[in-house]
Amino acid sequence: MNDEGSKSSLDDIIGDTPQLKQMLQLTMKAARTDAPLLILGEAGSGKQLIARAVHRISARKHESFITVNCVALGESSLGSHIFGEANEIEKPAQLELANKGIIYLKEIALIPHDVQTKLLRLMERREFERVGSLHTNPVNVRLIASTKYDLGERVAEGMFHEHLYDQLNIFPIRVPPLRERRDDIPLLANYFVQRFARRMNKAIDSIPDETMSFLLNSDWPGNVRQLENLIERSVVLAEDSALRIPPH
């Protein structure tokens, strides 16, 4: 693994501010270890992008990258989805699919306590049990988790297992919100404009000053994802070669 390869694996993370550069340096260091990784950041800030970059740089880059959205599945089915069920042996658990690779748990702060306990055992012993089974299964996975919540606060509130937090918090990476790296907005805006213009076969070659001023002075509570969505909508509605923000 060389620095040139690592750089190319981070090329789709757009920005040049000191905040972003510092975060990317940590990302490269994290990728070269096999320790659990906790990615922190607001909604839309790019946590999954970082997780995928770690996979591409890591020694596990040729193995699976399995994503589990802990919120979308709901509490009742999350454990079965990750660990499998005793009566469905022929249906592989997500952990089995991720063996030798990486399993990425999105929004780990909201998983139920029984799943937290199972994850702690996974991290401590590199083994797991299917739901309803006493048989242990060895597995070799790297765990990456992300959340927009303060896990320390959830531990204090009794909502998150303290030892699991300690295991995850070995190597935390904080993704800065867009409002903390406003100087990256022009780079991001131009990147998204060109990407969507090519996709829609449109010739958009400029962002007027008033449009850029609007972008630079917005609060962006939805971060990069919100900016991306707005640019896409603006490109769809564009009638000439200049990008303008359509009225809401």
Nearest Cα neighbor of 45 from 224, 226, 241, 244 is: 224
Distance between CA atoms of residues 7 and 10, nearest Å = 5
Distance between CA atoms of residues 59 and 50, nearest Å = 16
Q: Which CATH code is given to the segment(s) 179-237? A: 1.10.8.60
Largest pairwise CA distance in the chain = 65
How does strand 65-69 pair with strand 142-147? unpaired
Nearest Cα neighbor of 1 from 51, 76, 58, 63 is: 58
Domains of the chain, by residue range, sit at 3-174, 179-237
Identify the DSSP state of 242. Answer: B
pLDDT in tens, the chain (248 residues): 334 444 446 777 999 999 999 999 999 999 999 999 999 999 999 999 999 999 999 999 999 999 999 988 877 799 999 999 988 877 899 999 999 999 999 999 999 999 999 999 999 999 999 988 889 999 999 999 999 999 999 999 999 999 999 999 998 999 999 999 999 999 999 999 999 999 999 999 899 999 999 999 999 999 999 999 999 999 999 989 999 998 86
Instruction: Let me know: does 139 contact 127? Beta carbons within 8 Å.
Output: yes
Q: 3-174: what fold?
A: Rossmann fold (3.40.50)
